[in-house]
Structure 1
Amino acid sequence: MSEQLETVIKQHVDTAFETTIEELCELVRIPSVSWPAFDPAHVQESAEKVAELMRSTGVFEFVDIRRAPVAGQENEADPELGQPAVIARRPAKNGAPTVLLYAHHDVQPPGKEEEWDTPPFEPTERNGRLYARGAADDKAGVMVHVAAIRALIEAKGEDFDLGLAVFIEGEEEWASQSFANFLRENRSELEADAIIVADSGNWDVDTPALTVALRGAVAFNVRIETMAHATHSGMFGGAVPDAMLAAVKLLGTMWDEDGSVAVEGLTSADLTTPEYDEARLREESGLLDGVSPIGRGEILSRMWAQPAITVTGIDAPNIANASNTLIPSVLVRISARVAPGQDPQEFYDALTGHLTKHAPFGAKLTFEDPGLGQAFSVDTSGPAVAHMRAAMTGGFDREPIDMGIGGSIPFIADLVDEFPKAEILVTGVEDPDGRPHSPNESLHLASYKKALATEAIFLARMNDGL
């Protein structure tokens, strides 16, 4: 690809950047939380805005808003449908490949508004960053696709050969419950040679990265019961084990003294990791002075290639309602990460088996609402990966690195199942200080501009077959 063409793309991205950010802000102002407790009308409004943006490019044969049945509802007469997704397609010409562009337009709940420095759905720019819920995860990913298509048109004209498909889903933050059915129902319109999943991040604001490994996910509730009813803690305390005592003792068995996972049957992956020291871990995670990191081995190996178990919630009386009572039942939410290479069902069986084996005092355990997500390792030998690495070098003026992610994108397994021959490229716009899912989520604007140029250069390279 000529330097002149890269220059045209970068100049267009730069010239159009203010408009791109204005459109991103319009999208971010829509509070499209896909969780059941929130108004679904906002997700519909967000889908309509995304469809409008895609139509504005003028290159697609069609742009639709569609839904599919959630998992388990496929054969029902009146199935529950997932949240609205935007789908579009432009056929390839002259033997050119097709690229599927994925992102999601739904967002996490804002959490406690008092923990935000500015209103979560009013995008605010300060210190070179744009702050808002969804500013990075993942409405910035949606606008990457829109802006990259516009830059491709500027560089190649509207009659380019590259085929494009678009899938912008509306429920990624609520477990993508209709994802697999949506792929099956719309397979012919979504089929592609390469798939960009724009829902990850970069090594830092200056260094691009291709995500090549993702941990899988296992989440479930465990109900811990020891008594038929609550009783006075003064009358029976010391003789009767309450559920909280059993829960505290049981949960502690999942980790060694250094915080490493201590459950038999959980495996780790063999991944080469870049240099990353404790000082950077402290800076990026907010680890307090005097608090030690946990685990063994290289720090990035602990986050990318080893299993992890977290207790994310406990249903029990809060302090305001804490009477002198032995608690009969406690409900605990466990969220775990599965190393690449291990099947999540195997992981779930090992973890629930461990808890059952170590239940203290004969406490009764009931496991509820399991959710499993596959880990993912990228085959980096294909031509699309080479094009993306070259595009990242062109967009950022710095060679990319391959990195893993401690989090999970379970639906990638569905993409692999439905399109086994497609190369999957996991990219994104987040950086270590972006705080997705947390208060004060933000997007680094200078880095974002480089990401826009990167995807446009990639599309141009795929179009030209370089």
Structure 2
Amino acid sequence: MNHDTDAKSQSGDLAAKAAELMPGLVADLERLVAIPSVAFPGYPEEPVRRMADVTLRLFREAGFTDARLMDVPTGYPPIYGEIRGPEGSPTVMLYAHYDVQPAPAEQGWTSDPWTATTKDDSRIYGRGASDDKAGLVAHLGTLRIFDGTPPCTVKLILEGMEETESNLEAFVEAHPELFDCDLFVICDMGNLRVGEPAFTTALRGDVACVVTVRTLEHPLHSGVFGGPAPDAMMALARLLATLHDDDGNVAVEGVSAGTWEGEDFHADDLRASADILDGVQLTGTGPVGDRLWAHPSINAIGIDMTSIAGSSNVLIPSARAKISMRIVPGSDPATELDALVRHLETHAPWGARVEVERTKEAPPFLCDTSGPGYAAARWAMETAFGKPVGEAGCGGSIPLLRTLQHAVPNAEFVLWGPEDVALSRIHSSDESVDPQEIERLVVAQALLLQRLGTSGP
């Protein structure tokens, strides 16, 4: 039997095994979705700790018999484990996270977010069903295919605070030896559309600041002083408006922008996946892929001032907003934030006083796609999906990846997952996952481990 025929036979065997495993994996996903593991401050600790315990038990049963909750100074513990493969085999580290976003009722859920619900479209709905409990289940399926004995060395790191202030970066910096590997498999992404495989090869970074605008020493009666006396909220609104041009492009001098060379995300797909209201235009110009993954974006993600319920006929003396700016791959977060701060300090109307507090500098990330591990992953994904693999970006940022890159500079990265961009609605109401994406990903990961165990990195 030649190599191609043998690989095809092995692929068929793994696909059949994955199909057999799916009912159990779906049951595991339903069990995990039922645990409201929100690690944000102010939410109860018990569900998050229960989620950690249940996840730990599942992975121990799947083959990581030495998996354990790691001691961290603050927050919820990561789960770490290792299965030694044959002598001289490469090492792959699997990553996912067990915490989830909140699911407040005002988001507009049409089913209970803490009950995994299969609807007419065959997708499974619930908070974390996609981000990232489906990633946990994909790793479980990958280990179960090999009955807990994979063909190469496999390490495991499952984060408990990815959605909030991560404690894993400090843990990596304190214990870099635990993360020594040839390839990181980050299972917290997804294809642009179901059934169309795509690697995530670039992530925008994220910088943030809080801008405070002051115009008055104290509130003033709007009927007596309104007109000539400047209102701070109106000054803030005018300042925020200067951050974009009339088309919605970022208008901050000195902020970097680029061109996206990989798969594009069509405007109709974006409108559908984002549920943009009829008649509302997309912002910015150029291809959607450029706007999502190679151009900066700026949003005011919070505003402090008088609430409507507490309002009265007064001019506001001060108002403040938290500004988040996504920055493009290859840019320096400090330099980009400098440009944003400089703009805010110099564009306030009417001589309003402006103070800016810098709050975040998360770097972007760019994958090296030239290595043997990436080539093996591309073959595995093409084989599992039966289609050529594209490359997409991600508008979000995962600062942990740069920390891992510094800790293990020679390691490669593969970023994929079951969170299809078109329909998953992660962080939003009615988050969901297509179970076929989980199944195909299980096959892809198993093929990857099998090829690495046979041929090395």
- Provide the secondary structure at the position in 2 that maps to 1:282: helix
So what's the TM-score if we normalise by structure 2? 0.95
Q: Does the 8 Å contact 1:89/1:189 carry over to 2?
A: no
Of 33, 38, 41, 1:33 maps to 38
What is the CA distance between 1:353 and its match in structure 2?
A: 0.8
Q: Give yes or no for the alignment of 1:128 onto 2:122.
A: yes
TM-aligned CA deviation for residue 260 of structure 1: 0.5
Alignment check: 8 A CA contact 2:296 2:328 kept = yes
Question: In the alignment, is residue 23 of structure 1 matched against residue 36 of structure 2?
Answer: no
What is the one-letter code of the residue matched to 1:260? N
- Residues 104 and 171, structure 1, Cα contact 8 Å, conserved in 2: yes
Counterpart CA distance in 2 for 1:423 and 1:226 is 52
- How many Å apart are 1:190 and its aligned residue? 2.4
Q: CA deviation at 1:230?
A: 1.2
Any idea what the Cα deviations from partners look like across 1:80-116, whole Å, max 9, x if unmatched?
A: x132111101233221001000111000111225711
Alpha-carbon contact 2:197-2:388 (below 8 Å) kept:
yes
Q: Give the aligned length.
A: 449
Correspondent of 1:137 among 102, 116, 131: 131
- The alignment status of 1:260 with 2:264, answered yes or no, reads no
The aligned amino acid for 1:225 is R
Query: What is residue 72 of structure 1 aligned with on the other side?
Result: none
> Who is 1:146 aligned against?
140
* Alpha-carbon distance between aligned partners in 1 of 2:438 and 2:349, rounded to the nearest angstrom: 51
How far, CA to CA, are the matches of 2:132 and 2:358 in structure 1?
26
Whole-Å separation in 2 of the counterparts to 1:168 and 1:352: 36
Q: What displacement does 1:281 show? A: 2.5
Q: Residue 234 of structure 2 aligns to which amino acid in structure 1?
A: L
Which residue type is aligned with residue 342 of structure 2? G
Give distance in 2, aligned partners of 1:285 and 1:300.
15
Matches within 5 A, 1:191-270: 191-270=180-259
Change (3 A) 1:113 1:323: closer
How much does 1:135 deviate?
A: 0.4
- Distance (whole Å) between structure 2 residues aligned to residue 67 and residue 397 of structure 1: 42
Alignment match, 1:464: 454
C-alpha displacement at 1:160, in angstroms? 4.6
User: 2:387 aligns to what SS in structure 1?
Assistant: coil
The letter of the residue matching 2:23 is: E
Match runs of 1:318-397 below 5 Å? 318-368=307-357, 370-397=359-386
Query: Secondary structure of 2:189's match?
Result: strand
Structure 2 Cα separation of the partners of residues 160 and 375 of structure 1: 32
Is 2:78–2:168's contact at 8 Å kept on the other side of the alignment? no
Identity of aligned residues (%): 37
The code of the aligned residue for 2:51 comes to: S
Does residue 62 in structure 1 map to residue 51 in structure 2?
Answer: no
Residue 77 of structure 1: aligned partner: none
Aligned equivalents of 2:336 and 2:150: distance in 1?
Answer: 47
Judge conservation of contact 2:143–2:149 (CA < 8 Å) in 1: no
Partner SS for 2:417: strand
How many angstroms apart in 2 are the aligned matches of 1:396 and 1:418?
Answer: 32
The whole-number CA distance in structure 1 between the counterparts of 2:178 and 2:267 is 46
Change (3 A) 1:35 1:369: farther
State the Cα distance separating 1:412 from its structure 2 match: 0.8
1:50 shift after superposition: 1.1
- CA positional deviation for 1:61: 5.4
Q: In 2, distance between residues paired with 1:193 and 1:411?
A: 17
- What is the match of residue 433 of structure 1? 423
Q: What residue in structure 2 maps to residue 73 of structure 1?
A: none
Q: What per-residue deviation string (whole Å, max 9, x for no partner) do you get for residues 42-85 of structure 1? A: 21111111110110013x3511101323xxxxxxxxxxx13211
Shift of 1:205: 0.4
Query: 2 CA distance for matches of 1:375 and 1:114?
Result: 29
Q: Give the letter aligned to residue 244 of structure 1.
A: M
CA distance in 1, matches of 2:371, 2:117: 40
Contact 1:88 1:189 in 2 (8 A): no
Cα deviation per residue 1:177-202 (whole Å; 9 max; x = unaligned)?
x2222113332232111001111110
Measured in 2, the distance between the counterparts of 1:32 and 1:275 equals 34
User: Which structure 2 segments of 5+ residues have no match?
Assistant: 1-5
- Correspondences of 1:278-297 after superposition (within 5 Å): 278-297=267-286
Offset of residue 288 of structure 1: 2.4
- Contact 1:208-1:398 at 8 Å conserved across structures: yes
Looking at structure 1, the residues matched to 46 and 337 of structure 2 have their Cα atoms a distance apart, in angstroms, of 35
CA contact (8 A) 2:138 2:439 kept: no
CA change 1:255–1:114 in 2 (3 A) is: closer
Rounded Cα–Cα distance in structure 1 between residues aligned with 2:54 and 2:210: 36
Match of 1:117 among 110, 114, 119: 110
Shifted more, 311-320 versus 127-136: the winner is 311-320
Distance in 1 separating the partners of 2:410 and 2:264: 33
Q: Report if aligned partners of 2:273, 2:425 keep a CA contact under 8 Å in 1.
A: no
CA RMSD of aligned residues (A): 1.6
1:454 aligns with 2:444: yes
Distance in 2 between residues matched to 1:101 and 1:357, nearest whole Å: 46
Runs of 5+ consecutive residues of structure 1 not aligned to the other structure? 70-80
Other structure's SS at 2:41 match: coil
Deviations 1:268-312 (A, max 9, x none): 123313344332232222222322222122121011101110112
Return the offset for 1:316: 2.0
* Alpha-carbon distance change, 370 to 427 in structure 1, aligned in 2, over 3 angstroms: same
TM-score, normalised with respect to structure 1: 0.93
Aligned to 2:159: 169
Aligned 8 A contact 2:192 2:265 in 1:
no
Corresponding position: 1:82 with 2:75: yes
Identify which range, 359-368 or 340-349, moves more after superposition: 359-368
Q: Which runs of 4+ in 1 moved over 3 A?
A: 158-161
Question: In the alignment, what sits opposite 1:96?
Answer: 89
Instruction: Quote the Cα distance in structure 2 between the aligned partners of 1:286 and 1:429.
Output: 20
